[in-house]
Amino acid sequence: MVKENYQVDLGENQAKIAKAVHANANASVKFATEIAREVKGQRLDSSIQWLNRVLAHEDFIPLRVYHKKVPHRKGRAKSFGKAGRYADKTVKVFLKLLHAVKANADVKGLDSENLVIWHSFASIGFRRVSHQAKGKISGKMRQAKSAHIEVVVREAR
């Protein structure tokens, strides 16, 4: 099943917002949820810079919900905690999505230097199943999980 609609009421003024969605992205739902919560309300350029720092392992993704048995990171606490990870695969998907929404804003004629992430959301996507052979009789089923990720930006006031 493909994701068709957004989780937010976009309102009547569609000309002042830009949106992008990545359905069934090959990324972790848990990390996508944590990143979506962290970037919501930030400026688009600062979010892209932060994700590039996470990709270079200079900064971490603070985990507030999914933090069981996760070690603390060096430095100051971010978002009320020091537990964090460097989710490279999910960060790359999010960076691709943020660049796409920036391009969509350019096409609509919005000021791409003055964009704020108004809405970001991640949910469970399609699960791809593959089988691993284990002996003559039975096998082992493996599930590759995916996530639906959506981002909506608007110009800052």
At the top level of CATH, the class of 18-155 is alpha beta
CA–CA dist 109, 43 (Å, integer): 17
Say if CB 19 and CB 121 are below 8 A apart: no
Ordered per-residue pLDDT tens for the chain, 157 residues: 566 677 777 777 788 899 999 999 999 898 999 999 999 999 999 999 999 999 999 888 888 777 777 777 777 767 777 777 788 999 999 999 999 999 999 999 999 899 999 999 999 888 888 888 877 777 888 888 899 999 999 998 7
Beta-ladder partners of 154? 17, 116
* Alpha-carbon dihedral 55, 58, 64, 68, rounded to 10 degrees: 90
Say if CB 119 and CB 150 are below 8 A apart: yes
7-12 long-range contacts (CB < 8 A, ≥24 apart) are 7/119, 7/121, 7/123, 7/150, 8/119, 8/121, 8/152, 10/152
Domain chopping of the chain, boundaries: 18-155
